Amino acid sequence: MVRFSRVALAYPDSRGRPGAEVLRDISFTLGEGSFTWIIGPSGAGKTSLLRLMHAALRPTAGEVELLGIPISRARRSDLPPLRRRVGVVHQEFRLLNHLSAWDNVALPLRLAGIAESTIRSDVAELLDWIGLDDKAERRPEELSGGEQQRLTLARAIVTRPALLVADEPTSELDARQARRTLALLLEMNRQGTTVVVATHSEDLPERHPSRTLVLEGGRIISDG
């Protein structure tokens, strides 16, 4: 499902040349239907690792294989259909401010050409689950940080992706909402989605012990 083989990543410097490596010698395989935590101090490389996992970046060295496709050798045209099978909860939300909460969640289904009747029931069910059914017509900037974060999760899972990559999905949530988000991630996982979650929370991995990759200084220092 996800295979990293001796991966390194360097962001380009101001002249477009590769800068210092922020990930080094990363190798692991995540099986289909698995649930994995990614933890590590700020700046360890968690977001960078996740960017490789949703094909936002190609590795500078080594290979990332996603859903059977080797990213460094993939053609540019292979990437959009691959990305559509990966749900992403971005740390900085990336909601569309000119659309309502409802339309933000409906958008990935509309882009996938799903019938409006199906969209209506799927979006309603998810907005209800995340507790935003009464705010469906609001625009993201009219919602609190925690509400925007829950909306971001709803948008990431509404297409029932094969792989869900979530970067700090509970950072803005109170304890009760964080537990609800975890329950939603676990339900997705129970239905077959491979789930990867980067978090600073110590509480969530304790609530659901699972494989944990610990990153420090761009390397995996523990995998278990």
Ligand X SMILES: Nc1ncnc2c1ncn2[C@@H]1O[C@H](COP(=O)(O)OP(=O)(O)OP(=O)(O)O)[C@@H](O)[C@H]1O
User: Between residues 93 and 129, which has the closer beta carbon with respect to ligand X?
Assistant: 93
User: Between residues 11 and 94, which has the closer beta carbon with respect to ligand X?
Assistant: 11
CA–CA separation, 208 and 186 (whole Å): 9
User: Please, what is the minimum distance in Å from the beta carbon of residue 218 to ligand X?
Assistant: 7
Residue 14 binds to ligand X (criterion: CB under 6 A): no
- Tokens 């975890």 correspond to 182
Of 22, 156, 178, 204, which lies in the binding site for ligand X, with binding defined by CB under 6 A?
22
Which of 129, 156, 130, 124 is closest to 143 using CA atoms? 130
CA–CA separation, 206 and 63 (whole Å): 31
Residue 59 binds to ligand X (criterion: CB under 6 A): no
User: Please, what is the minimum distance in Å from the beta carbon of residue 54 to ligand X?
Assistant: 13
User: Between residues 126 and 215, which has the closer beta carbon with respect to ligand X?
Assistant: 215
Residue 45 binds to ligand X (criterion: CB under 6 A): yes
User: Between residues 45 and 108, which has the closer beta carbon with respect to ligand X?
Assistant: 45
Give the DSSP H or E segment for 139: none
Residue 11 binds to ligand X (criterion: CB under 6 A): yes
Strand order in the sheet with 61-66: 18-30, 2-12, 61-66, 69-70
Binding residues for ligand X, total number by CB under 6 A:
10
Of 7, 30, 39, 46, which lies in the binding site for ligand X, with binding defined by CB under 6 A?
46
Residue 42 binds to ligand X (criterion: CB under 6 A): yes
User: Between residues 40 and 161, which has the closer beta carbon with respect to ligand X?
Assistant: 40
Of 18, 31, 43, 81, which lies in the binding site for ligand X, with binding defined by CB under 6 A?
43
The set of residues, in sequence order, having a beta carbon less than 8 Å from that of 20 and lying 6+ positions away, is: 10
Tell me how far the alpha carbon of residue 24 is from its chain's centroid.
Answer: 21
Measured at the CA of 182, the angle between CA 115 and CA 84, to 5 degrees, comes to 35
Residue 189 binds to ligand X (criterion: CB under 6 A): no
Which of 27, 9, 5, 50 is closest to 199 using CA atoms? 50
Interface residues toward ligand X, by CB under 6 A: 11, 22, 40, 42-48
